[in-house]
Amino acid sequence: MSKETIPKKLEKRSDNCLQSLYDAAEAFSSGVSYESFNEITPLIGNKEMYDHLKNLIRVNIVNGINNGFEQMQIADKMEILDNLANEYPEESAWRPSVGVVDVSAQEKWGLTLRKLVLVKKLEALDTQNDNLKQDINKKRKILQQTKEKLEKHL
C-alpha cells in the first residue's frame, strides 16, 4: 500500500490493523481474474479496462476504510491510548500475585465454622448412640427376664 492512501493523521504511527485492512483490500482487488472479467464482457474486454476495474475496486475499499477511520476518530483514540500507555508503564500496573497472601489465614474463619458444625453433628450422633445403647440394654434386660420366666415354667 502506498503512502498517499494512508491518512495524514496515521502517518506518524503505522497502525498494524489499518495496514492489514489495506493489505486485504489489495488482495481482494487482485482476486479478480482477467479470465472471469473476459467472461463478463467478452466483446469489449481488454487489459486496460480490467486494470481500471481492479484499481476502482481497490480505491473504493481503501476510501471506505479511510472514511470509517475518520468517522470513528481512530487516530485520536490511538493517540489517547499511546498517551495512556506512556503515562502508566506496565511495571506500575496492578497484577494478581500468587503466594503473597496467606491463604490459610483467610480460610481460617470458614474452617472453624465448618469444624463447629461437624462437632455439633458428632455430639448429636454420640447422644443418639447413647440412647440406642440404653434401649438395647433395656431390651436385653427384658429378654433376660423373659428367658428366666420361661426356664421356670419349663
Count of alpha carbons within 13 angstroms of residue 50, beta-carbon side: 17
Q: Which amino acid is at 27?
A: A
Q: Are 40 and 11 in contact (CB under 8 A)?
A: no
Task: Write out the three cell numbers for 87.
Answer: 503515562
Instruction: Pick the closest to residue 28 from 68, 67, 1, 66 (CA basis).
Output: 1
pTM: 0.37
Torsion of Cα atoms, 129 then 133 then 138 then 141, to 10° = 170
User: How do the pLDDT tens digits run along the chain, 154 residues long?
Assistant: 444 455 555 454 546 666 767 777 777 666 666 666 666 665 555 777 777 778 888 888 888 888 888 888 888 888 888 888 788 777 666 666 776 767 777 788 888 899 999 999 999 999 999 999 999 999 999 999 999 999 888 7
Q: Which residues, 6+ apart, have CB-to-CB distance to 34 below 8 Å?
A: 47, 50
Within a 10 A sphere around the Cβ of 59, how many other Cβ atoms?
13
Task: Write out the three cell numbers for 12.
Answer: 506518524
Q: Are 10 and 65 in contact (CB under 8 A)?
A: no
Q: Are 61 and 25 in contact (CB under 8 A)?
A: yes
